[in-house]
Amino acid sequence: MIPGEKIKNAGELEFVVFCIENVAAKLGVEAQRVYQAFTRKSDILYGYIVPEYEVLHTQSREYIVDDLLEVMKERGVEV
């Protein structure tokens, strides 16, 4: 998938929602804040989560959340 490509099916959309909700739960913040961090403050949603969907969605919830928190840290993204 080309980085920046949009969500193309229901499976990817469900996974994006899953990622946002689970990162929000781990951080103890509202999902809207995580969505903004992934879209307005960075390109994590369309530049990482969507392009890496095929690999990421096969991992455990804990792995996915920890991976996304690491990506946020590496990119200096805060919620």
pTM (2 d.p.): 0.91
Radius of gyration of the chain (CA): 11
Q: Please state, in angstroms and rounded to a whole number, the distance separating the CA atoms of residues 79 and 53.
A: 22
Structure tokens at 9: 């099916």
For 71-76, what is the mean pLDDT? Answer: 97
Q: What is the pLDDT of residues 2-45, one digit of tens each?
A: 555 689 999 999 999 999 999 999 999 999 999 999 999 999 99
Which helix (DSSP H) or strand (DSSP E) does residue 69 occupy?
Answer: helix 61-75
pLDDT computed for residue 4 by the predictor: 52
